[in-house]
Every structure is written in C-alpha cells, then in structure tokens.
Chain A
C-alpha cells in the first residue's frame, strides 16, 4: 500500500462521544499534518509534526488532541465536539519540513459530522 491512508472515511458522532481519526503514510516522509476543511473556507492548518515532535499548534481548541507515535502514524483524538466542528479532516505528509519545494501529499480525508 502506498500514499497516505486515513480512516475512517466517514464519522458521525454526538457531542459527548470520544472518537479518534487515524492517518498512516507509506512514503517515508518525516513531517505529518492535520488540516480542517470547512465549506466555503480555505483549508486550515491545525497541527504539524516533524520526526514525531509537534512543531505547530495553530490555536486549535483542546477538544482536538493530536498524537504522533512515530513518523508514519498520526492520530487526532476528538472529545466533546461542537456541531461547528463538522468538516472534512485531511491528513498530509511531506518529505522535509524545511524545504519550500517539498509538496504535501494528502489522504482522502475523514468526513466528520457532529450531531
């Protein structure tokens, strides 16, 4: 299997639930990212990890909790979400965090609906 894989593809959860999104990359990249894509808004960067260390938290509410156990896996733990958190959550990876010419490779995303 190659590329960036996200599971689940779709998730419906209540505001009191706890769930996790999973991302796995098979590209040998060192950096991983979480983005949020809401309707009619630009993609919003949430978190960045480089060699398992978090380098960016873009003022994300604490109800979103990332975890990066190794360079190939990234999780986003969700708890007590709000309906406005409903969005497409995209995971991405890149070879190098320091080079401007290093493209991000994205997964298919998880479509999250909070009821």
Chain B
C-alpha cells in the first residue's frame, strides 16, 4: 500500500498568490514525523518543514505552513505569497517510529510552476 500519496502531479500558481500542495499518508504508528522537501532543477533536496504526530500546532516556517489534519491523515503544504523561485518539485515524506525511523518514505511529488 502506498504510504505517501501526492495526487497532484502538477500545479500552477500566480506570483504572490497562495497555493496548497496535497499529501495524505498511511501509517498505523502513533509516533511519526512528516516532512516536506523542495527539489529545484539543480537536483538538491531542500528540507522545508517538519510536523510531528504529537504536535498540536500546525508547523510554520516563514512562507511555508503545514495544514495537519491527523484524523484525515493529511499533511498539506501551504506556500503563501508565491515567488518565481518557488517553481520546483515538492515532495512529502514520512518517517515512522517503532523501529522504522531509519526510513524516510517519499511520495511521487508535485511540480509547482509559479508564473508572473
């Protein structure tokens, strides 16, 4: 079964607008961590934001925020005030607890294109 599902292969957003990238996950663990990464065309995977399963507040890092809905098992990334430099692939990933913490499992990614 797919552990991380990103249903949007591609998204477009106009500069200065907000955009939401979807991510749903599947785990039976109570303790887990959710991550978002950005991959520009250069290839490097850049860590953006982290949400722990026990965190009561949604994580925020600058223009990035994570809309965490535990009951629905979703962890959507919200990028506010989009910039042209935000154009990249975005990957959602999960690290489970209970002996599986060495595995960071990724989704298939969403390609975001920001236009002027």
B104→A101 contact, CB < 8 A: no
B47→A108 contact, CB < 8 A: no
- Complex CA distance for A88 and B106, rounded to whole angstroms: 15
Chain A: residues with Cβ within 8 Å of the partner, total of: 28
B43 on the A face (CB < 8 A) = yes
A97→B101 contact, CB < 8 A: yes
Q: Known contacts A100-B31, A101-B50; is A107 also within 8 Å of B104 by CB?
A: no
When distances are taken between beta carbons in the complex, the residues of chain B under 8 Å from A45 are: 103-105
B33→A100 contact, CB < 8 A: yes
B43→A108 contact, CB < 8 A: yes
B4 on the A face (CB < 8 A) = yes
Counted as pairs of residues, one from A and one from B, with CB atoms less than 8 Å apart, the total is 64
When distances are taken between beta carbons in the complex, the residues of chain B under 8 Å from A56 are: 102-103
A42→B4 contact, CB < 8 A: yes
Interface residues on B, range: 20 to 34
Residues of A at under 8 Å CB distance from B? 31, 33, 40-43, 45, 48, 50, 55-56, 88, 90, 92, 97-109, 111
B45 on the A face (CB < 8 A) = yes
A109→B43 contact, CB < 8 A: yes
B64 on the A face (CB < 8 A) = no
- Identify B45's interface contact among A31, A41, A42, A106, CB under 8 A: A106
Q: Which residue of B lies closest to A110 (CB)?
A: B43
B108 on the A face (CB < 8 A) = yes
